[in-house]
Amino acid sequence: MQKFILKQKTRIAFISFISIILAFFNHYVIQTTLVSEVLLIFASIIGVIPIALQAYQALRVKVISIDVLVTIAVIGALIIKNYEESAIVTFLFLFGSFLEQRTLNKTRKAIKELTQMAPVSALKKVGQDYLEVEIEEVEEHDILLVKTGAKIPVDGVVIEGFGHVNEASITGESLPVKKSIGLKVFAGTIVENGTLYIEAEKVGEDTTFGKIIELVEEAQDSKSVAEKFIDRFSKYYTPLVLLLAVLVYLIWTDLELAITILVLGCPGALVIGVPVSNVAGIGNGAKNGILLKGSEVISDFSQLDVMVFDKTGTLTTGTPAVNHVKAYTKDISLTLGYLKAIEKESDHPLAKAIVDYIKDDKNYLVTQTEVVKGGGIIAQIDEKKVLIGNLKLMNQMNISIKNDVIEDIKQLESSGHSIVITAIDHDIKLLIGIKDQIRPNLKQDLQRIKKLGVKELVLLSGDNQGTVDLVALELGLTKAYGNMLPEDKQAYIKKLQSEGKRVAFVGDGVNDSPSLALANIGIAMGNGTDVAIETSNVVLMNSNFSKIPHALGLTKKIVSNMKQNIIIAVGVVLVLLASVLFSQWMNMSIGMLVHELSILVVIINGMRLLKYKLKKRRK
Amino acid sequence: MKKVTIQLETLTCPSCLQKINNAVKNLEGINKDSVEVLFNASKVKLNYDESKIGVETIEDAITKLGYEVKKSVIKDR
């Protein structure tokens, strides 16, 4: 019965609205006061039923809620025969909570969409058949079948089949990834074509996707110090308002004033304002591949002083690539063909870069190879002796090097390249400069970060000072230190913090996890891997550096949005209470209207965060 | 001790939190410090002693307040 009534709240609000309209029509047009009074009483009574029910439930568990205040006020208004007020107040309260529900759902939408991406069912092997079961029934080591278009239900490994999987929900990368036997697959990713048989390794909350969802869910309800204060405040606030109203009644025996205070004192917007900003802001982040771990993180990140970066894999892509090719022969394609044939057999990072760079493969037969440690490779192709390696190898093998080649080598080295020389039959043919590539658009991103108020951008790297200085110059960093071990980086961050600065550290989640943990804000560039999710305060779903300025701008907006909401809420209550004491026009209905409007204003204000986008810099 | 996460219908009024919090904490066999009512996620998380209380009793206490329980997930601790 109770549930039924509460479910009908919207309908009741509608009926009460109609009654009120009819009552006013009767009163002013037909001028039958009796009918209009009856209608208003009817509207008040059906309107107050659901409110009173909630009030009763609250009192049973010793909570003086807004419902309690409103119920008393409405009963009071009925006693002093102010039927107009009682009807309008109940209607506004019901209608307000209907609107709140609607708008709140909007602010929560972004996060809800994320959680609804979680798989709900799976095709599980039972005996010889695959049966559809609920996701909760899947355990580790179960064998599952995933068909085209279906969601992979668990983290696991492919044991049979082949297909392309869209892993955007985990890595943010929208290009499908090939999956075949032995490769790992992740819960929440989608098989675009093919059929996969997988063995479950992790299920439910233990999967990477499960962890992401849990993280976001916890974050949207996490509370900062300020919020905890407001919570405690509002716990005592409502009883205080009740007490005040009782005192006013006892001292001045003015029931009308007392019940007006009850309505005006409702704290609605105050309690709801901050969580609304929080959920909308975190929702915006989640939509953009940025997971913010809660309110404290948002507040710390928004007041950042220094951002410290690791180099390899953070400012650079972490995969070296061919940046410069200089030929000393006419037959470049033959040399490149030889080079590719030999380097294909090596797993050295520089060799990989070269293989990636040379597109066509002529499949020359390599008859003999010898690896010279710290030098390079000596190989035999077509009865020719091919040397691939550094200057040291060339000197060792007594290759004569012309002055212009020496000049070229020096120049490439001074600009931070690793050098690979190719010589065929004692003649130098090719010079290749390989460099770890700076991430695209990094300079603009760093400038945006500076513009958002971060005073220092510092590079700490294990590389030599020369290379580090070069990067710092190119990117316009404030400071750059080379030859840093992980513990040196930690010490540096500690020093900054002891100077009272708020520090963010951006690095990979593996080597630098102590620094990530130590910094006020840790940001791991780790493609949504477990480590990155666990060690970071801000998780970037696809190691996309350009999300950092967005995240920074967003946190600043969230913090100011929360402040606006607190000011609106407190302001409204103060203005209402002041006007009831010092003005004539204030009454219950206006109070309730203003009060409900203020709640809607803070929700709509919070909703703006869902649309936040970092402004593009003008060229 | 077991940990239960109870998914409720969407919570919209902030005073629901206080009501649910009080209602659940008053039950026998609940670890009071573990009770968390999440407004935006509309969830209740708590640890309880399964020898003293069943999940149904906890769900009942919440349903009686007028909030629908959608699903409970229990985990060992």
- A135 and chain B in contact, CB less than 8 A: no
CB pairs under 8 A between A and B: 67
Q: Which of A142, A310, A445, A508 is catalytic?
A: A310
Q: Which residues neighbour A615 within 8 Å (Cβ) at sequence distance 6 or greater?
A: none
Can you say how many angstroms the Cα of residue A365 is from the centroid of all Cα atoms in its chain? 51
Asked if A97 lies within 8 A of B12 by C-beta distance, the reply is: yes
Q: What is the mean pLDDT of chain B?
A: 86
pLDDT band at A272 (very low <50, low <70, confident <90, very high): confident
Q: d(Cα B22, Cα A235) in Å, to the nearest integer?
A: 12
pLDDT-wise least confident of A119-128, A276-285, A316-325 = A316-325
- In this structure, are residues A419 and A310 in contact, taking their beta carbons and an 8 Å threshold? no
Confidence (pLDDT) at A618: 46
Q: Does B64 touch chain A (CB under 8 A)?
A: yes
Distance from CA of B20 to the nearest CA of A (A): 8
Find the CB nearest A63 among B19, B64, B73: B19
Residues sharing a CB contact under 8 Å with residue A21, sequence separation 6 or more, in sequence order? none
Angle between helices A33-60 and B14-25 (to 10 degrees): 40
**Of A580 and A143, more confident:** A143
Does B41 sit within 8 Å of A278, measured CB to CB? no
Of B22, B66, B73, the CB nearest to A6: B66
Q: How many CA atoms lie within 13 A of A334 on its CB side?
A: 11
Res A416: pLDDT: 75
Judge whether B32 and B74 are in contact, CB under 8 Å: no
Give the model confidence (pLDDT) of A202-245 as tens digits: 888 888 888 888 888 888 777 777 777 777 777 788 888 889 88
A234 contacts chain B (CB < 8 A) = yes
What is the arithmetic mean of pLDDT over A264-292?
A: 84
Query: Which residue in A3, A108, A234 is closest to B66 by CB distance?
Result: A3
> Within an 8 Å CB–CB cutoff, is residue B73 touching chain A?
yes
Handedness of CA A35, A37, A42, A47 (dihedral sign): positive
Is the CB of A275 inside 8 Å of chain B's CB atoms? yes
Chain A nearest-CA distance from B13, in A, is: 8
Of chain A, the percentage scoring pLDDT greater than 90 comes to: 17
**Residues A134-161: what's their mean pLDDT?**
90
Residue A617 pLDDT > 60, yes or no? Answer: no
Helix (H, G, I), strand (E, B) or coil at A529: coil
Note whether A8 contacts B: Cβ–Cβ < 8 A.
no
Rounded to 10 degrees, what is the CA torsion of A228, A233, A234, A240? 170
B43 interfacial to chain A (CB closer than 8 Å): yes
Is A310 a residue of the active site? yes
Has residue A619 got a pLDDT over 50?
A: no
Name the one residue in this structure whose structure tokens are 């809800």: A112
Query: B40 and A275: CB-CB below 8 Å?
Result: yes
Write the single-letter amino acid at A516.
L
pLDDT number for residue A529? 62
Q: Radius of gyration (Cα) for chain B, nearest Å?
A: 11
Residue A202 corresponds to which tokens in the numbers above? 């992790």
Round to whole Å and give the CA distance between A61 and B24: 9
Chain B contact for A447, CB < 8 A? no
Question: What residues pair up with B43 in beta bridges, in sequence order?
Answer: B7, B38
At A3-31, the pLDDT tens digits run 677 677 778 888 888 888 888 777 777 77
Q: How many residues does chain B have?
A: 77
Produce one character per residue of A142-173: b if its CB has 16 or more CB atoms within 10 Å, e if not: bbbbbeeebbbbbbbebeebebebbbbbbbbb
Can you read off the two tokens belonging to residue A395? Answer: 């000197």
From A482, A491, A499, select the one nearest A515 (Cα to Cα).
A491
Predicted pLDDT of residue A172: 65
Read off the pLDDT of each residue in A242-269 and give the average, rounded to a whole number.
Answer: 84
Q: How far is B30 from chain A (nearest CA, A)?
A: 16
| Top mean-pLDDT range of A78-82, A314-318, A495-499, A537-541 | A495-499
- Nearest Cα neighbor of B12 from A467, A275, A473, A156 is A275
pLDDT confidence of residue A450? 92
Selecting from A61, A104, A217 the residue whose C-beta is nearest the C-beta of B22 gives: A61
Give strand pairing partners of A427. A424
Is residue B68 within 8 angstroms of chain A, CB to CB? yes
A58 near B CB under 8 A: yes
SS (H, E, C) A25-94: HHHHHHCCHHHHHHHHHHHHHHHHHHHHHHHHHHHHCCCCCHHHHHHHHHHHHHHCCCHHHHHHHHHHHH
Tens of pLDDT along A472-494? Answer: 888 889 999 988 888 888 899 99
Task: Report the DSSP pairing between strands B69-76 and B43-48.
Answer: unpaired
Tell me, what's the pLDDT at A402? 87
Mutate to test the interface with B, among A1, A3, A10, A61 (most CBs of B within 10 A): A61
CA dihedral A21, A23, A29, A33 (to 10 degrees): -170
Alpha helices, H only, A428-485 = 442-451, 465-475
Contact A101 B19 (CB under 8 A): no
Chain B residue closest in CA terms to A96:
B13
Question: So what's the ipTM on this one?
Answer: 0.85
pLDDT of A2: 67
- Structure token pair of residue A232: 């405690």
* In the block, residue with structure tokens 């958002």: A452
Give pLDDT tens digits for A365-412: 888 888 887 788 999 988 889 999 888 889 888 888 888 888 988 888
From CA B63, how far away is CA A170, in angstroms rounded? 36
Strand-pairing partners, residue A76, are none
Smallest CA–CA separation between A479 and chain B, in Å?
42
How far apart CA A199 and CA A181 sit, in angstroms, is 11
Q: Which residues of chain B does A62 touch, with a Cβ-Cβ cutoff of 8 Å? A: 22
Closest of A358, A317, A314 to residue A335, by C-alpha: A358
Judged by DSSP in three states, A508 sits in: coil
Is the Cβ of A114 closer than 8 Å to some Cβ of chain B? no
Query: Which residues of chain B neighbour A71 with C-beta distances below 8 Å?
Result: none
Contact A101 B10 (CB under 8 A): yes
Which chain A residue's Cα is nearest to B27? Answer: A61
Query: A526 pLDDT band (50/70/90 cuts)?
Result: low
Q: Quick one: average pLDDT of A516-527?
A: 83
Are A517 and A503 in contact, with CB atoms under 8 Å apart?
Answer: no
Sign of CA dihedral A477, A481, A485, A487: negative
Contact present, A237 and A268 (Cβ < 8 Å) = no
For the four alpha carbons of A227, A229, A233 and A235, in that order, the dihedral sign comes to positive
pLDDT number for residue A69 = 87
CB contact under 8 A, B68 and A217: no
**For residue A104, which residues of chain B lie inside 8 Å, CB to CB?**
10, 12
* C-beta atoms of A61 and B66 within 8 A: no
Residues 6+ apart with CB under 8 A from A542: A171, A172, A173, A289, A527, A528
Closest by Cα among A20, A22, A12 to A48: A12
Q: Write down the mean pLDDT value for chain A.
A: 85
Q: Evaluate whether B60 touches B8 at the Cβ level (below 8 Å).
A: no
Does the global pTM surpass 0.90? Answer: no
Q: What's the confidence (pLDDT) of residue A39?
A: 86
pLDDT surpasses 70 at B73: yes
pLDDT score recorded for residue A531: 67
